[in-house]
């Protein structure tokens, strides 16, 4: 995709940050131009930065724009475009409230290009304990829906609409997915296994697993690190990887299990543990 012209970049940026017909206030013109130069005409960079600078309908003070500008380094030059795009996305990630960071990080469990059902995702956040009850008596699902909408407003996830124009699901941009997968790996937040080998982290604090099988024609090797498996509390399995999953009896403290896309006709019957809280 060709980079946007400076005029198109400016229109996209202003539309995201400022009220529809108000234009850019004089005090923000220079810093806006400097930020747009750093974005290099890349729409994802422009939208992500704009979303970080305008929370809801409130534009952040110019001092915060200056801080953001300094954090962007040399910008999206040809030789450092990937590195600087990651810097931009990283800034937007750390600008999120902590609870939204956790919910976004959780999306690394999904394979690239997944269409993620909104309601199912929200219930998984609830099951994982990421959604915390407020003081207004609002249901956990509605609180989770608010989290979901905030991530859309921040341009960290891409909404998908149904036939009547309602948001029903979402996607994660490849570069955002790359960022959160790296952050998850560093934080040992989720173990992602693609089925191409039977090696699993020996870390004793593995709590969440996501099983994929990138090559569906390849006979994946079953997981065999039973010591680590016994400590897993949450597991999500995508259909190509169903055959690498050990018996559920191996998961001694399992609390969250997602097999919702799997064809149980291909799987031996499992005896579900009575300790499980969310299926």
> At 88, phi and psi to the nearest 5?
-65, -45
In a domain, 184, yes or no: no
87/144 same-domain check = no
In a domain, 179, yes or no: no
Check residue 184 and give its pLDDT: 92
Check residue 88 and give its pLDDT: 82
pLDDT in tens, 249-278: 788 888 888 887 776 544 433 333 334 445
Q: Considering 174, 202, 220, which residue would you say is the last residue of a domain?
A: 174
Whether residue 99 contacts residue 147, with contact meaning beta carbons closer than 8 Å, is answered with: yes
pLDDT higher than 90, residue 98? yes
Which tops the pLDDT comparison, 240 or 214? 240
16/80 same-domain check = yes
88/123 same-domain check = no
Check residue 206 and give its pLDDT: 76
Check residue 237 and give its pLDDT: 86
In a domain, 170, yes or no: yes
Whether residue 262 contacts residue 241, with contact meaning beta carbons closer than 8 Å, is answered with: no
In a domain, 35, yes or no: yes
120/147 same-domain check = yes
pLDDT higher than 70, residue 187? yes
110/87 same-domain check = no
Residue 74 pLDDT grade (very low, low, confident, very high; cuts 50, 70, 90): low
Question: How many whole angstroms separate alpha carbon 68 and alpha carbon 52?
Answer: 9
Average pLDDT over residues 8-35: 86
In a domain, 258, yes or no: yes
Check residue 112 and give its pLDDT: 87
165/229 same-domain check = no
Which tops the pLDDT comparison, 103 or 70? 103
In a domain, 275, yes or no: no
Average pLDDT over residues 185-199: 73
Average pLDDT over residues 150-178: 92
What average pLDDT does the structure give for the chain? Answer: 80
Check residue 260 and give its pLDDT: 73
DSSP 8-state code for residue 141: H
Give the chain's domain count. Answer: 3
Give me the percent of the chain exceeding a pLDDT of 90. 30
Whether residue 169 contacts residue 115, with contact meaning beta carbons closer than 8 Å, is answered with: yes
CATH number at residue 123: 1.10.10
89/102 same-domain check = no
13/52 same-domain check = yes
Q: Considering 123, 148, 174, which residue would you say is the last residue of a domain?
A: 174
In a domain, 183, yes or no: no
12/84 same-domain check = yes
Q: Considering 146, 174, 202, which residue would you say is the last residue of a domain?
A: 174
pLDDT higher than 60, residue 62? yes
Structural domain of 44:
6-94
Residue 229 Cα distances to 137, 173, 199, 234, 254, angstroms: 37, 30, 12, 10, 9
15/75 same-domain check = yes
**pTM for this structure?**
0.78
Secondary structure string (H, E, C) spanning 52-121? HHEECCEECCHHHHHHHHHHCCCCCCHHHHHHHHHHHHHHHHHCCCHHHHHHHHHHHHCCCCCCEEHHHH
Secondary structure string (H, E, C) spanning 245-273? CCCHHHCCCCCEEECCCCCHHHCCCCCCC
Whether residue 233 contacts residue 256, with contact meaning beta carbons closer than 8 Å, is answered with: yes
Whether residue 4 contacts residue 41, with contact meaning beta carbons closer than 8 Å, is answered with: yes
Phi-psi region of 56 (alpha: psi -120 to 50; beta: other; left: phi over 0): left
């Amino acid at each position: 995709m060709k980079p946007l012209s400076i005029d198109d970049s400016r229109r996209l940026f202003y539309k995201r940050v400022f009220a529809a017909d108000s234009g850019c206030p004089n005090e923000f013109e220079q810093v806006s131009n400097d930020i747009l130069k750093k974005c290099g005409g890349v729409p994802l960079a422009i939208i992500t930065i704009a979303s970080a600078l305008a929370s809801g309908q409130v534009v952040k003070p110019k001092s915060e724009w200056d801080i953001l500008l300094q954090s962007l380094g040399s910008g999206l030059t040809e030789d450092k475009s990937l590195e600087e795009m990651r810097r931009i996305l990283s800034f937007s990630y750390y600008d999120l409230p902590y609870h939204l960071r956790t919910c976004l990080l959780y999306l690394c469990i999904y394979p690239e290009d997944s269409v993620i059902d909104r309601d199912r995702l929200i219930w998984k956040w609830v099951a994982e304990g990421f959604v915390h009850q407020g003081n207004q008596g609002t249901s956990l699902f509605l609180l989770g829906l608010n989290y979901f909408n905030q991530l859309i407003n921040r341009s960290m996830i891409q909404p998908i609409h149904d036939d009547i124009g309602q948001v029903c699901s979402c996607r994660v941009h490849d570069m955002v997915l790359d960022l959160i997968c790296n952050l998850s790996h560093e934080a040992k937040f989720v173990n992602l296994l693609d089925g191409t080998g039977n090696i699993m982290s020996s870390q004793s604090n593995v709590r969440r697993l996501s099983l994929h099988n990138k090559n569906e024609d390849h006979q994946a090797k079953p997981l065999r690190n039973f010591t680590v498996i016994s400590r897993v509390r949450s597991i999500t399995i995508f259909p190509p990887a169903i055959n690498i999953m050990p018996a559920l009896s191996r998961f001694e403290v399992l609390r969250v299990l997602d097999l919702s896309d799997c064809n149980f006709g291909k799987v031996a019957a499992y005896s579900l543990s009575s300790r499980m809280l969310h299926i």
